[in-house]
């Protein structure tokens, strides 16, 4: 399941993520920012993608093309993944 926001507003990003490849999960982290719809589950992949889902409904909220510091904030220190995120940032992928 995907949120209406993602389906309607993130088509270009989704196409770029398909080109990059979603990759394999390297960690999932619970993040509670006090959102009215509840906490989120952030899943980081080895291609530098972050998939964000609602914890209660498991509906996908968005996918991000991560910057290196976003990866590090989850405590992930894998140099290969951080380097991929750095490359994506240099190419401006995280701005889409």
The pLDDT score that the predictor gives to residue 2 is 58
Q: Which of 90, 92, 94 lies closest to 62, judged by CA?
A: 94
Q: How does pLDDT run along the chain (96 residues), one tens digit per residue?
A: 555 555 556 788 999 999 999 999 999 999 999 989 999 999 999 999 999 999 999 999 999 999 999 999 999 999 999 999 999 999 999 988
The pLDDT score that the predictor gives to residue 1 is 58
Three-class DSSP category at 32 = coil
The pLDDT score that the predictor gives to residue 32 is 95
* 50, HSE (Cβ side, Cα atoms, 13 Å): 24
pTM of the predicted model as reported, rounded to 2 decimal places: 0.88
Distance CA 4, CA 82 (A): 30
């Amino acid at each position: 399941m995907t949120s209406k926001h993602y389906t309607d507003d993130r088509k270009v990003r989704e196409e770029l993520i398909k080109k990059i490849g979603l990759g394999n999960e390297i960690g999932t982290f619970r993040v509670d920012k006090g959102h009215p719809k509840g906490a989120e589950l952030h899943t980081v992949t080895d291609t530098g993608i972050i998939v964000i889902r609602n914890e209660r409904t498991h509906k996908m909220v968005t996918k991000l093309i991560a910057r290196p510091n976003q990866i590090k904030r989850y405590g992930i220190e894998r140099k290969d993944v951080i380097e991929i995120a750095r490359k994506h940032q240099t190419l401006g992928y995280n701005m889409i």
